[in-house]
Each structure stands twice: as C-alpha cells, then as structure tokens.
Structure 1
Amino acid sequence: MRKTIYLTYLLSVFSLLPSYGGSNEKITVSGEISSVEVHSAAPLIIDTDTEYQKVIGFGGMNTKWQASTLSDNEITTLYGNGEGQLGYNVLRVRISPNGERDWKQIVGTVRKAKSLGATILATPWTPPVGLKNNHSIVQGELADTDGYAAYLKSFVRYMQNNGADIDVLSIQNEPDIDVKYESCQWSPAQIYDFVKKYGAELRAAGVKLMASEHSKFNHDFTDPLLQDEQVAANVDCIGGHIYGGGLVSYDLVAQKGKEYWMTEHYLNKAWKDKVLTSPEALRTENMAFAEELNNCMNLGFNVYIWWYLRRFYSMLGDGDGGSVRSEVTTRGYFLSHFAKYATGRIRVKATLPEGAPSGISATAYKNAEGDISVILVNSSANVMRGLKIALPFKAAKAVKVVTTSGTTPAETVKEMAQSKVKLAGGVDVDAYSVVTLLIKKP
C-alpha cells in the first residue's frame, strides 16, 4: 500500500466565481471582498491512479479575415518553447472557397507553425459557390457532394505539395448558424451521409477527419456518426464550439476512441466598441477564461482552441482596444500555463476539500515519468495562503509558476514568474491568478 502524505492548508474565502460563456454571453463583474481566513484539516488530494484523458494541446485561429496572416515572429512567440514564448501546439486555419489564389496566403504561416511542432486543423466556412444551391458564399446548402469532396482533397494536396501539411481536416464550420458572412447550413443527416460516403477517401489523403464544429456542440450532429460503427471508422475527431452551450462531458467520444476537440470560443464583453468598459470587467473576463480552461479539461476535452490568436481580447494584441500589436496579453500567458504544463500529459484526479470556498479550481496532470503538474485558478480578490497538497509520493522538488491578471490589455502583473517552493510549508496562490505547481517525483 502506498503511503499518502497528508498536509494541512489555510485558505482565504473567495468571491463567487463569475459566470462565463460565449462571446454573446454576459459575465458578471465581481466586487472586492474583505479577506477572511478559513482553517481546514483536509488537503487538496492528488490521485495519480485515477486517470482521465490525455491532453493533446492548445492554440488558436490564424487571423485571415481580420487583417494579415500571423507573421513569423508572432508564430514564434505563440508556438516556440524558448524564454518568453508561449508553447502552443495547435493552429486552426480557414479553407478559402477561392482555391489556390487564397490558399497560398497561409502556406508560410502553416510551414512556420509546423516547424515549431504545431498540429494544423483546417476548417472551411463555405464550399465554393459553384457547389452550393444558392450560388453564394453566405448560407445555402451543399448541392454537389462529389465536387466538394474533390475540393477538400485538392486543398490537402496543395498544402502537402507546398510543405505545409494539414493534420486534421474539418468538413464545415458551424453548420447550424444563420449569419451574413461565409457559411453553409448542414443537417445532422447531411453530415452523416457525407462522412459515410467520403470519410474514408478524405482520410486516405493523409489527414484525420473532424465533424461537425456545431456552434453549441449539439450532440445531435455527432451522435449518429459515433453510433454507426461503419461511419465512426471514418471520423477521428469530434469537434465543436461552446457559444452558449456544449461545455459538457461527452462520454460517447471516449468510448469510441475518438478525440474531443473544443475548436472555437472567445470572450470580449469587457469592451464596447473596442473601448474597455472598466479595469474590473477585463480582470473578471480574464479569470472567466482561465476558469473555462480548467473546466474544459475537467470535462474531458483533449484540445482547446481559442478564436483569433491576434486580437485585443486574445493572446496577442492587435493595437485595438488598448492593446499593443503583437504583445502577449494576460490571456496569452494563462493559455501558456496549460500549453506548457498539461500538453502531452494525462489528467489525473484532483480533489478540493469538501466545503472549499468558491472561486478556486484545480486540475492535475502526470507525465510518463510520474511528475505532476497542478494548475490552480484563483478568480477572487484574496490570496489563498498556505495551500497544502496530498501527494502519492514525497516530492523531490517543486516549482511554482505564477501569472496574475492585469487590468489593462497591455498589462500582466506577473507573466510566468517562477520560484522554487517547499510544499511542506504550503503554497500561496495569488489573487486573480493562474498558478502552476511543477512537482518532481523522486
């Protein structure tokens, strides 16, 4: 029997965790509260024998419509693993309906990202107009399925021939929505029929296949694919967005041995007409984003992909909304905690003590050597003092990595500040922060 080392801890009381959701959802701004200390004999328990999903990675979307594609320097900042770089490893790009004249614009970006180890997801917003029943890039439905399958294969071949291989191919972005930009509507039956008929040949082009990137991750669009053994063999990744819904576990995906991808989300209600409404609104939304990352991991997602990587509410500023173009934001650093310290690891059970205050969440991960990373999100105004942890071993050493939210788009109070810690003495978790503990097994 293993000996578990139980330690005591001291926590501060937290304000209620702000609500979070899609870009069209309101996030409540929490006020400051006075710090009240609470004592407990129970620790945060890490159980490495209880395993969940393997984490594939984190990243975001190339910036094609907004402006120019991401530069080499920006890609290096986002996907590099050196000092001051963020360590992301998944890049999403758009498949233009205009063919090679547009495809060539993303070749350099994809090449650079792949040189740094990135996995590339390619998503179409619409088929070419000649393949649709309304002959428009907006709305309508696919009329020529043979032509569309051929078009997708031609895109994959073009990118391969130009040294910019695509790893995962999606068949449609948000097939459910009614909008006035590039789009195409599909029913669950149409997605099922397309994957059944063309899935094998698309995968034979050298890619994994994804469906269906519903805006609210409606399982009605993907359950039929998974429940049919023949069709399930034609799809590798089940993807979707979480705008107003879909942030739930999906056991059927894991049961069928498929990958569970969250492929798009963003939060930008802290601004109105690109003007920040208040410092508190930004900080609250930053923390809602960090909490969303922990939630996605706790719900079993293998991959998390943000919307535009370069935008004033994203990972790099673009010069709008008080941001500085190409500079890393608080959100960029928050995502880096997960990219650097969860990617490639298996999530394990992390149990907060019964009655733990609101405003704190935790996930834990182990690597092949048995080392543990614990990612803590403190969404409150209070420092959590002397947090102790129950481990299945006595740590050889531990390092604390801290990022604290700023109150302007161009400010992060602490970026990825590292320090050695002694776990026996407890660990402080800063207010409005993401804290990662890197725990080395003997």
Structure 2
Amino acid sequence: MKINNILKLTGTPIILLSLSLVSCHKSQDTDTAALNIPKGTATVDANTVQQTVQGFGGASIPIWIGDLTSDQRTKAFSASSGIGMSILRVMVPTSSSQFAAEKPTIDAAKGLGARVIATAWNAPASMMDGLKLKTSSYAAYAAHLSSYASAVGGVYAISPWNEPNYSASGWMGATASEVADFVAAQGNNCGAPIMAPEPLNMGQSYINTYLSNATAKANTAFVAGHIYGATPYNLGNIGKSVWMTEHYTNSSISGNDWGNAMTAAKEIHDCMAAGWAAYVWWYIRRSYGPIDENSNITKLGYVMAHWARYVRPGYTKISCTANPTSGVYTTAYKSGSRIVIVIINQNSATTYQSFTLSGTSLTGFNRYVTTSSSNLVASTVAVSVGSFGINLSPSSVTTLVSQ
C-alpha cells in the first residue's frame, strides 16, 4: 500500500538469510501415483491465443537508493543465471546533470535483453506551478523528456507522470484529461513512445477518461498503471496493451518470507489472468525485493523467475484453466512450438493436478520447482497422448517448459 511513502522510498533494510540456487538434477518423473484425487483437470489450448506478454521486471532509482552493482544487474536480468527480468523501470530526473547516473544499469539491462521504461515523477521546477505542470511548459517538458531519452541511449517507452491521481504523493499530479491534453499535444515529441496514464489503483474511470481523447490515445503505445489498493481486473476492449508498472506487496516483510513470496506469485498470476502484458515490481534491490541488500536473490526473486526466465517478451498467453483445483492456479504461454505452464499450489499438502493439451503435440516438459526450502529444482515430466498429471509440492511454484 502507499500509505507510508517513507517506507516506499527508503525501504528499511532487514537482515536476510542468504540463499543460493539449489543444484539442479534431472530425473524422469511421470507422477503416475496421485496423492490426492484431482477436483478438476487443467485444459491448455494452444490454439486459443490471448494477450502478447511483454515481460516481467523491476525498478532501479539510483538518485534515491544508489545504483545496482554489476553483480546485481546480472542477477536481475540474466535469463540463464539470474531472475531473468526483461523490463527495467527507471526515473527521469528533474535535472539533466543527473541523467548520466541512470546509464550504467540501463546499458547492462539492454545488454541482457531487457526493455527499459522511464517514468517522470516531476517536471523541472521552472515548468511547474506547485505540483502541476504549466500548460505553457508543455513543449519544454517534452524536450526535457526527449533529452533524457537521448542521454541514456534510448528507452522503450516513457511516462510523463507517475500516479498523477495520487494527491497525497508530493509529486506532480494531474487529472486524466490534463495528462491526455499533454500527450495529445506533445506525445510525439518526448523522445520515445508514450506509456500512460500510470494511475494509482489502475483506475478504470481514469484510464477511460484519458483514452477518450482520441489524439492522446493515438499517441499512446500502451496503457500503464499500478495496483496498490486494487485487485487485477480485465479493463475490457480498450484497444491498448496493459502493463502493470509498479507494485510491491509489503515493504516491512523480508523478500525471503515464503508466505509473502507466494502472495506475489498469486498476484503475478492474477495480472496475467486479467489479460495484462507485463508485471513490474518496485525496487529490484531492497530487503523486501527480489534481490536483497547483500546481493542475494530472495525467495521473491526466485518466484518471479518462474515467469521471467521462461516467459520471454513476445510469448503469447494461451487458454488455460485458471483455477482447476482448490488452491491451484495455472497460466500457460507459447512461442512457436514451445509451451510454458506456470502453476501455483497454495495448499499445504502435496496436490495432484491433471492436464490435457490441445493444439500442440508434446512428449514432455522440463520442470522447475521452488518451495520454501528449494529454488528452481529441475526434473522432467512425460506427456502421453496429450495428457499428463503431476504431484505439486506443498506451497510451491512450478514452471513446465516443453522439451
């Protein structure tokens, strides 16, 4: 929640237990003996394509908490040895003298295949009247954003406002119509495609009002927003991809708290089930984040890796029974002939889950499992004539990647 901005911006460190990746082992596991009788079969239909996934990531704000180290960048963005984040969110500083501080992490993230999105919390003070952007400064503000994009070597998208509907924030605010007016007038002059309006609560009425400005909508690459205080939901046919560009679950709980990591897992599932294209955590390195202050990947980070490593930008979500069994949640994705299924088991007992597959011909999956005591442990699962079943470890996240 956003009640305490000090916690959000500073994030009091918590002493964490360092984790290391459990050594992977390979074994053939067909799970033929069901430990629990399934309440339902999860049906995966590769022919029913839903949204295109744009990625999973987090934020780095060097002028607030210091930059990521080289090791932390690799752990965040490497899809082979790290979490595999494919989105880096950064801040557009108000002073051009601070632009260069963003570049090392931006360059590293790009080098590891990530897309960079940039958000401005405030315009330079000379362009603002209190916490409002002056209409007379529209062109100057667009030039400021463009200058930033050029200075850091380009960004995938840029947001002119961060949570403009959050009046208690202390940063630049605006109505949906005001954001739309700026984007309509200057959206093509900001040095990168526009993501907007990035409201708190992913507010439907705020987004709809913004998109009702036809010129602003035409100048908008995709809709962005945050889910503080809101449950992910389908925004309907708005004609734009939807990215969730900031959230954290609890800044007072360690990233190694397994219950909190499972809460985040369900949240990612819900965002994907709602038809959204991206999920971006708040700070990448924080005691409550995916990487802790000692540069260790946390349990939260390993949970995020179940999507980030294996569901890469450009994959499409495909039809999959979202909640086939009590306490079990599934989503599925494809890229070409590759199928990826991510499964959450919230139950405290081992739970058997059956699957049927259509629109694809597979013989097996590589399986990766994270629990409270293990990280991305590998094995294999066989598929027989378009169906299979697996035993899900208690309180776990499992990713299946077709062979």
TM range (shorter): 0.7 to 0.9
State the match for 1:165 in structure 2. 154
Question: Shift of the alpha carbon at 1:42?
Answer: 4.5
Matches within 5 A, 1:34-433: 38-40=36-38, 42-82=40-80, 84-97=81-94, 99-134=95-130, 140-143=131-134, 145-161=135-151, 164-179=153-168, 181=170, 183-202=171-190, 205=191, 207-245=192-230, 247-253=232-238, 256=239, 258-268=240-250, 271=253, 282-318=257-293, 325-343=294-312, 344-351=314-321, 356-357=325-326, 359-368=327-336, 370-385=337-352, 387-392=353-358, 393-405=360-372, 413-424=373-384, 426-433=389-396
Gaps of 5+ in 1: 1-21, 26-35, 135-139, 319-324, 406-412
Distance in 2 (CA, whole Å) between partners of 1:289 and 1:394 is: 32
What CA RMSD, in Å, does the superposition of the two structures yield over aligned residues? 2.4
Gaps of 5+ in 2: 5-33
Distance in 1 (CA, whole Å) between partners of 2:183 and 2:208 is: 13
Report the secondary structure of 2:398's partner residue. Answer: strand
Question: Shift of the alpha carbon at 1:397?
Answer: 2.4
Amino acid at match of 1:193: D
Residue 177 and residue 352 in structure 1: after superposition, are their counterparts in 2 closer, same or farther (change >3 A)? closer
Runs of 4+ off more than 6 Å: none
Question: Shift of the alpha carbon at 1:396?
Answer: 2.3
Report the secondary structure of 1:236's partner residue. Answer: strand
Report the secondary structure of 1:420's partner residue. Answer: strand
Q: Quick check: 2:225–2:243 contact (8 Å CA) kept in 1?
A: yes
Distance in 1 (CA, whole Å) between partners of 2:85 and 2:279 is: 10
Q: Quick check: 1:262–1:303 contact (8 Å CA) kept in 2?
A: yes
Q: Quick check: 2:363–2:383 contact (8 Å CA) kept in 1?
A: no
Distance in 1 (CA, whole Å) between partners of 2:289 and 2:357 is: 35
Amino acid at match of 1:89: S
Residue 115 and residue 212 in structure 1: after superposition, are their counterparts in 2 closer, same or farther (change >3 A)? same
Question: Shift of the alpha carbon at 1:263?
Answer: 0.6
Question: Shift of the alpha carbon at 1:158?
Answer: 4.5
Amino acid at match of 2:356: A
Between 1 and 2, higher relative CO (CA 8 Å, sep ≥ 6) is seen in 2
Report the secondary structure of 2:369's partner residue. Answer: strand
Report the secondary structure of 2:201's partner residue. Answer: coil
Amino acid at match of 1:391: L
Q: Quick check: 2:58–2:280 contact (8 Å CA) kept in 1?
A: yes
Residue 155 and residue 89 in structure 1: after superposition, are their counterparts in 2 closer, same or farther (change >3 A)? same
Question: Shift of the alpha carbon at 1:251?
Answer: 1.9
Q: Quick check: 1:127–1:148 contact (8 Å CA) kept in 2?
A: no
Deviation by residue 1:78-97 (Cα, 9 ceiling, x = unmatched)? 11123x31211110101111
Residue 309 and residue 423 in structure 1: after superposition, are their counterparts in 2 closer, same or farther (change >3 A)? same
Residue 41 and residue 184 in structure 1: after superposition, are their counterparts in 2 closer, same or farther (change >3 A)? closer
Question: Shift of the alpha carbon at 1:231?
Answer: 2.7
Question: Shift of the alpha carbon at 1:41?
Answer: 7.6
Report the secondary structure of 1:341's partner residue. Answer: coil
Q: Percent identity, aligned pairs only?
A: 27
Distance in 2 (CA, whole Å) between partners of 1:81 and 1:37 is: 33
State the match for 1:28 in structure 2. none
Name which of structure 1's ranges 145-154 and 116-125 shifts more when overlaid on structure 2: 145-154
Report the secondary structure of 1:194's partner residue. Answer: helix
Question: Shift of the alpha carbon at 1:339?
Answer: 1.1
State the match for 1:30 in structure 2. none
TM-score (norm: length of structure 2): 0.85
Question: Shift of the alpha carbon at 1:184?
Answer: 1.1
Residue 295 and residue 235 in structure 1: after superposition, are their counterparts in 2 closer, same or farther (change >3 A)? same
